[in-house]
A and B are shown apart, each in its own frame.
Chain A
Amino acid sequence: MSRPLFPAQEIGSLMKPRWQILGQHAEPLDESARSEFVRENERTHFASELPGAADALLAGHARELGGEAVRDLGALFALRLLERAGLARVYDGEARRIEMFEYPIRQMRGFQFQGHVRSFDNKYYLKAAVTDEVRLEHPYHLEEFDFVRRHAHGEPKLPITGPYTLADWSYNEFYLARQRGWKGRAVRRAAQRDFVVDLARRAIRPTLAALIEHGCRVIQIDEPAAGTHPDEADLVVEGFNAATDGLDAEFSMHICYSDYRALLPELLEAKRCRQWAWEFANRDRDGRDGYEVLRALADYGDTREVGLGVVDVHRDEVERPATVADRIRRAVGYLGDPARIWVNPDCGLRTRGLDVARRKLEATVAGAALAREDFESGRR
């Protein structure tokens, strides 16, 4: 099936609207949350699709309504926001998720949460240690996917945290203890490999299989930790391959804020990965060409699709469509074939306010249209 050049896709989470946060906490909406709800509903009329829930929330009956119904509303809101912006592949803005580590780990056995670690300043994240063999309690993300599939007008694309990242963000206790002798670099690496592969085989693959069974066709495996240890790129790949072994879906791998060259060529061994979804716009400034790194893919003869980050999720300044179009043209220059390119934000837009996020998505779609016009009219 042919599709227009440079289709746009979601890449991750959106900021949760204030009305959703208050509603989930069973708190009545204050004036700003109420007007935010009304304003957003005027754009997409999402509330009319779940009228009972919307009415109850606005009437201050969040407690009676229950958190799940509020999350349904939040998911529907995000879905319609993405669709109205013109995205071809959509999800729910991860409206039901809080973060990408704790939730999947809580669906498994073999882990014990240890407490908070400081990420920077007064920001922390919860860390778990694997203290026994990894086992999956039950496949996850199924209910949220079912909801999206029932309501989406665009093609659903599900993001899921990859095995390497889950392992890297955990403390490896069980698999390390199985190794004999001093736990030096080589021993730790062997233990980490066991951990990654077990996560992939015992937890991620069954979950992916269940999602596919539910009709999920497009799956993005998030591996933000891949760039932390470039010398472990082969473990990223081994985890990806084990997680997707024998499964039939369109898999992509999302990595961001990393030195992609340092991960090549090992990363190219991810057999069932059809698309690299990477961040580029953040590094495309101060006279530097953030897309030049794509040359490395061409140098290695890799011909997979690229999910091209064309808007920066760490700045409020909204890119002009002409800037997006210029970025796409440069990417085509490095990759050769324009049909390989999807466009998306660099990463999840949850770092930005909803209004900025919406305008960045609209700029993404408008910029893609400009570039498409160029290529289809033969100006390029």
Chain B
Amino acid sequence: MIVRTGLTGPFPRPEALVAATRDLDRGRASPDAVEEVFARTEAEVVALEDRLGLDTRTGGYLRWMDLFRPFAETWEGFSVGPLTRWFQTNTFYRQPILHAPPGRVPGAIAARLPLPARADPARGGVILPGPYTFAGLLDNRSGEADEALVHRLGRLLSEEGRELAGLGFGAFQFTEPLLVDRPPEGALAEAVVAAYRSIAGAIGPGTALVWTYGADATPVLPLLDRLPVGGVGVDLAETDWESLPAGGERRGLGLGVIDPRTTLVEDPAEVARIVRELAERRRPSAIWLGPGAPLDLLPWEPATRKLHLLAAARQALGDADGGPR
């Protein structure tokens, strides 16, 4: 069984970075001083990713204020809107407001990727919003219908992916909590499939992973299985995994085995048992293990503690290449 591991969203900021960014906002620290703390922390996250043998290096996406902000701040047609609750959490994002048909600005997102990911793109994990979640969570004042907007964002994200693939990046995750929280139907569902067809055409189908979280993926599985991507990730803390049907052969299966809603560390043996059972049932081409939802729902220390589960579970699964390096 091929087992891959990696972060699936932003990593929390450590207390030193919390203090530095607070000081920056209060005018008590210079941007240069805070930049130093950011760089130091990114290096720490990469060191942790390496130590645990994770397959991708992300650097933690510590500077991204939310999943959409780099796009809302750099792409044409957007402005940054009001604070809005992020699903069923006590965290918030600034809702992008789309005033006109969106347009991407070449190079803008690449420049916002974490430095460690840019330094070694072959191992760099690119984490982007999925077109359905992006379209569904912005304030659409452009006049464009939902389906057309999903199409258009899919096309723009595929162009983004093409540019990043050209820079050497080979692992792309499209974050789609809305796919399970508010599943699309009818023409909208078809627009989602078409958007991913466009993305897969640009970056190659094997390198794109769609990651869902926050709700049970089981009812949406028929649609998820139709997405022409390398694999689909589900949040095991929310998904009724015992009811996941057989199928999905020759595609990757992402399993969110770390629940960032609790500091309680999962049992590697139990995780390995569930992974084996699902591997037997779904017969995926590969398995990705990662946090079920963004780990920055936890503070730095417990997040670090819980991330060790990925290495422990990999070892428990008997993966020859796994385990801490």
Q: Do A and B come from one complex?
A: yes
A: residues with CB less than 8 A from B are 114-122, 124-125, 127, 129, 168-169, 171-173, 176-177, 181-185, 188, 225, 228-229, 257
Q: Are A168 and B264 touching (Cβ within 8 A)?
A: no
22 A-B interface contacts by CB (under 8 A): A114-B263, A115-B12, A116-B299, A117-B297, A118-B296, A120-B65, A120-B92, A122-B24, A124-B18, A124-B22, A129-B262, A168-B90, A169-B90, A176-B262, A182-B270, A182-B274, A183-B237, A183-B262, A184-B237, A184-B240, A188-B262, A228-B88
Q: Are B264 and A119 touching (Cβ within 8 A)?
A: no
Of chain B, the residue at the smallest CB distance from A121 is: B65
Contact with A along B238-254 (1 / 0, CB 8 A): 11110000000000000
Chain B residues whose CB sits within 8 angstroms of the CB of A181 once the complex forms: 270
Q: Are A115 and B91 touching (Cβ within 8 A)?
A: no
Of chain A, the residue at the smallest CB distance from B92 is: A120
Question: Measured between alpha carbons, how far is A177 from B298 in the docked complex, in Å?
Answer: 18
Q: Which listed residue (A117, A125, A172) contacts B298, Cβ 8 A?
A: A117
- A181-B270, A182-B241 given. 14 additional CB < 8 A pairs? A114-B263, A115-B299, A115-B300, A116-B15, A116-B299, A119-B91, A120-B83, A121-B65, A124-B18, A176-B264, A184-B237, A185-B216, A188-B261, A228-B88
Chain B residues whose CB sits within 8 angstroms of the CB of A229 once the complex forms: 88
Chain A residues whose CB sits within 8 angstroms of the CB of B299 once the complex forms: 114-117, 127
Of chain B, the residue at the smallest CB distance from A229 is: B88
Q: Are A171 and B91 touching (Cβ within 8 A)?
A: no
Question: A172-B262, A173-B264, A184-B237 are known contacts. Are A118 and B13 too (CB-CB below 8 A)?
Answer: yes
Interface size class of B (residues with CB under 8 A): 35 or more
Q: Confirm or deny: B206 has a beta carbon within 8 angstroms of a beta carbon on chain A.
A: no
Question: Measured between alpha carbons, how far is A184 from B264 in the docked complex, in Å?
Answer: 13
Question: Measured between alpha carbons, how far is A172 from B300 in the docked complex, in Å?
Answer: 17
Q: Are A228 and B85 touching (Cβ within 8 A)?
A: yes
Q: Confirm or deny: B21 has a beta carbon within 8 angstroms of a beta carbon on chain A.
A: yes
Main secondary structure of the interface of A (DSSP, over half): mixed
Of chain A, the residue at the smallest CB distance from B20 is: A122
Within 8 A of A (CB), among B254-307: 259, 261-264, 266, 270, 274, 296-302
Question: Measured between alpha carbons, how far is A184 from B65 in the docked complex, in Å?
Answer: 29
Q: Confirm or deny: B93 has a beta carbon within 8 angstroms of a beta carbon on chain A.
A: yes
Question: Measured between alpha carbons, how far is A331 from B199 in the docked complex, in Å?
Answer: 50
Q: Confirm or deny: B308 has a beta carbon within 8 angstroms of a beta carbon on chain A.
A: no
Question: Measured between alpha carbons, how far is A324 from B84 in the docked complex, in Å?
Answer: 26
Q: Are A117 and B12 touching (Cβ within 8 A)?
A: yes
Chain B residues whose CB sits within 8 angstroms of the CB of A228 once the complex forms: 85, 88-90
Question: A183-B237, A185-B238, A228-B90 are known contacts. Are A116 and B262 too (CB-CB below 8 A)?
Answer: no
Of chain B, the residue at the smallest CB distance from A186 is: B240
Chain A residues whose CB sits within 8 angstroms of the CB of B274 once the complex forms: 182
Chain B residues whose CB sits within 8 angstroms of the CB of A118 once the complex forms: 12-13, 18, 91, 296
Q: Are A171 and B65 touching (Cβ within 8 A)?
A: no
Chain A residues whose CB sits within 8 angstroms of the CB of B216 once the complex forms: 185
Chain B residues whose CB sits within 8 angstroms of the CB of A257 once the complex forms: 85
Of chain A, the residue at the smallest CB distance from B21 is: A122
Q: Which listed residue (B65, B94, B270, B298) contacts A114, Cβ 8 A?
A: B298
Question: Measured between alpha carbons, how far is A10 from B237 in the docked complex, in Å?
Answer: 40
Question: Measured between alpha carbons, how far is A103 from B220 in the docked complex, in Å?
Answer: 42
Q: Are B296 and A117 touching (Cβ within 8 A)?
A: yes
Chain B residues whose CB sits within 8 angstroms of the CB of A125 once the complex forms: 90
Within 8 A of A (CB), among B82-110: 83, 85, 88-94
Within 8 A of A (CB), among B196-240: 216, 236-240
Q: Confirm or deny: B181 has a beta carbon within 8 angstroms of a beta carbon on chain A.
A: no
Chain A residues whose CB sits within 8 angstroms of the CB of B92 once the complex forms: 119-120
Question: Measured between alpha carbons, how far is A228 from B236 in the docked complex, in Å?
Answer: 20
Chain A residues whose CB sits within 8 angstroms of the CB of B262 once the complex forms: 129, 171-173, 176, 183, 188
In the assembled complex, the CB of A253 is this many whole angstroms from the nearest CB of chain B, namely 19
Q: Confirm or deny: B25 has a beta carbon within 8 angstroms of a beta carbon on chain A.
A: yes
Question: Measured between alpha carbons, how far is A85 from B18 in the docked complex, in Å?
Answer: 39
Question: Measured between alpha carbons, how far is A28 from B13 in the docked complex, in Å?
Answer: 34
Question: Measured between alpha carbons, how far is A224 from B25 in the docked complex, in Å?
Answer: 26
Of chain B, the residue at the smallest CB distance from A130 is: B263
Q: Confirm or deny: B66 has a beta carbon within 8 angstroms of a beta carbon on chain A.
A: yes
Question: A116-B299, A183-B237, A183-B259 are known contacts. Are A122 and B88 too (CB-CB below 8 A)?
Answer: no
In the assembled complex, the CB of A314 is this many whole angstroms from the nearest CB of chain B, namely 9
Q: Which listed residue (B12, B94, B237) contacts A120, Cβ 8 A?
A: B94
Question: Measured between alpha carbons, how far is A188 from B261 in the docked complex, in Å?
Answer: 10
Question: Measured between alpha carbons, how far is A166 from B39 in the docked complex, in Å?
Answer: 35
Chain A CB within 10 Å — which of B239, B241, B259 has the most? B259
Chain A residues whose CB sits within 8 angstroms of the CB of B259 once the complex forms: 183
Chain B residues whose CB sits within 8 angstroms of the CB of A129 once the complex forms: 262-263, 302
Question: Measured between alpha carbons, how far is A173 from B266 in the docked complex, in Å?
Answer: 11
Chain B residues whose CB sits within 8 angstroms of the CB of A185 once the complex forms: 216, 237-238, 240
Of chain B, the residue at the smallest CB distance from A165 is: B90
Question: Measured between alpha carbons, how far is A114 from B89 in the docked complex, in Å?
Answer: 17
Of chain A, the residue at the smallest CB distance from B264 is: A173
Question: Measured between alpha carbons, how far is A171 from B297 in the docked complex, in Å?
Answer: 10
Of chain B, the residue at the smallest CB distance from A191 is: B262
Within 8 A of A (CB), among B48-103: 65-66, 83, 85, 88-94
Q: Are B12 and A183 touching (Cβ within 8 A)?
A: no
Chain B residues whose CB sits within 8 angstroms of the CB of A171 once the complex forms: 261-264, 298, 302
Question: Measured between alpha carbons, how far is A257 from B21 in the docked complex, in Å?
Answer: 28
Within 8 A of A (CB), among B169-203: none
Chain B residues whose CB sits within 8 angstroms of the CB of A177 once the complex forms: 264
Question: Measured between alpha carbons, how far is A182 from B275 in the docked complex, in Å?
Answer: 12
Question: Measured between alpha carbons, how far is A169 from B90 in the docked complex, in Å?
Answer: 8
Chain A residues whose CB sits within 8 angstroms of the CB of B240 once the complex forms: 184-185
Chain B residues whose CB sits within 8 angstroms of the CB of A114 once the complex forms: 263, 298-299, 301-302
Chain B residues whose CB sits within 8 angstroms of the CB of A172 once the complex forms: 262, 264
Of chain B, the residue at the smallest CB distance from A129 is: B263
Chain A residues whose CB sits within 8 angstroms of the CB of B298 once the complex forms: 114, 117, 171
